[in-house]
Amino acid sequence: MALQASLAKFKQQQEKCQSTLTNVARAGTPKPTQKVTIASTPSASARAPVAPVRFSNDTERLQHIYSIRKSPVGAQIKRVIDLLLETRQALTPEQINEACFVDVNANKAVFDSLTNNPKVNYDGRCFSYKSKHDVKDKNQLLVLIRKLPEGIAVIDLKDAYPTVMEDLQALKAAGQIWLLSNFDSQEDIAYPNDPRVPIKVDDDLKQLFREMKLPVDMVDIEKDLQKNGMKPATNTAKRRAMAQVHGIAPKSKPKKKHREISKRTKLTNAHLPELFKNLNVPDA
């Protein structure tokens, strides 16, 4: 009886295990109508391209700024003065740096040179151009020239204000000033022509002046000056005596070769045609 009971219990356990295996097999097999979907992740090739790193496209400008700031102090000073002359405005160091790339505040040598430059005015905040003569227009220019009867060099007026050269020509055309060339430096000199004292020289006086002959010897000229109460600038007699003491022979001046005047000759006194009446001008 005991054996029969054990066999029956073993059989029940076998059936139970078979039923469990069947259920497991059914649960693991998908149904024909069921679709299995797997969530797909984007592949590396399907991802959006990463933007490349972009470098500054202003490399040339940065190199230009670097070369300016590494240039000699004198070159940087010239850039600033040219800027001030061109703009004619009072500029702060920041405005100068923005306009011509010279960092005045960061370079002590440039700052000190600018503040001590005679062409630059510094009021503690701004730099501005300083001309030799403080005139701003044609009226002030005429007043300045009339204050200097001995004349004023045009080169000293060129940087006064932008239209100063045009104003000089306008004053000359109006007969208010004279613009004459200096034979030594070939620079124009501006002289005042005071309209309150018009002078008209008679032709007889002009002729008398031209017919007057000066002594050939410089000693005679000095004597004539002394007779008329004027002190000569030279002392030819003393110079010749000293030369004889030291045994120095007097230098004889070479005779100048007479040059004939042709149509190609540049006449500096063209405004005085009477000087050339008696000259033979050959056809050339």
Question: In this structure, is residue 23 part of a structural domain?
Answer: no
- From residue 21, how far is each of 11, 24, 28, 220 by CA, in Å? 16, 5, 11, 154
Phi and psi torsions of 79, nearest 5°: -60, -40
Q: Which DSSP symbol is given to 94?
A: H
Is 69 in contact with 102 (CB distance < 8 Å)? yes
Q: What is the dihedral sign for C-alpha 169, 174, 177, 183?
A: positive
147: Cα separation from own chain's centroid? 31
Where do we find the tokens 């009867």? 149
In this prediction, residue 240 carries a pLDDT of: 85
Helix/strand/coil for 242? helix
- Same domain for 63 and 117: yes
Query: For residue 284, is pLDDT > 50?
Result: no
User: How many C-beta atoms lie closer than 10 Å to residue 268's C-beta?
Assistant: 8
* Burial zone of 76 (CB within 10 Å; 0-12 exposed, 13-18 middle, 19+ buried): buried
User: CA 101, 105, 111, 112: dihedral to nearest 10 degrees?
Assistant: -160
* Burial zone of 125 (CB within 10 Å; 0-12 exposed, 13-18 middle, 19+ buried): exposed
Domain that holds residue 187: 138-192
Which one is predicted more confidently, 60 or 255? Answer: 60
Question: In this structure, is residue 83 part of a structural domain?
Answer: yes
Q: pLDDT tens, 207-231?
A: 998 888 878 888 888 888 888 888 8
**Lowest-confidence pick of 26-30, 148-152, 233-237:** 26-30
From 129, 159, 176, give the residue that closes a domain.
129
Q: How far apart are CA 123 and CA 217, in angstroms?
A: 60
- Same domain for 114 and 62: yes
Number of domains in the chain: 3
Cβ neighbors of 74 (< 8 A, separation 6 or more) are none
In this prediction, residue 16 carries a pLDDT of: 74
Query: For residue 38, is pLDDT > 80?
Result: no
- Same domain for 146 and 125: no
From 75, 106, 129, give the residue that closes a domain.
129
pTM over 0.95: no
228: Cα separation from own chain's centroid? 54
The pairing of beta strand 177-181 with beta strand 152-153? unpaired
User: CA 31, 34, 35, 36: dihedral to nearest 10 degrees?
Assistant: -60
Helices (H) and strands (E) in the chain, counts: 10, 5
Average pLDDT, the chain: 79
Phi and psi torsions of 152, nearest 5°: -135, 135
Question: In this structure, is residue 76 part of a structural domain?
Answer: yes
Question: In this structure, is residue 209 part of a structural domain?
Answer: yes
- Same domain for 62 and 121: yes
- Same domain for 65 and 116: yes
Greatest Cα pair distance in the chain: 184
From 129, 146, 164, give the residue that closes a domain.
129
- Same domain for 185 and 146: yes
Question: In this structure, is residue 96 part of a structural domain?
Answer: yes
In this prediction, residue 192 carries a pLDDT of: 93
CATH number of the domain to which 87 belongs: 1.10.10
Question: In this structure, is residue 197 part of a structural domain?
Answer: no
- Same domain for 122 and 91: yes
Is 68 in contact with 101 (CB distance < 8 Å)? yes
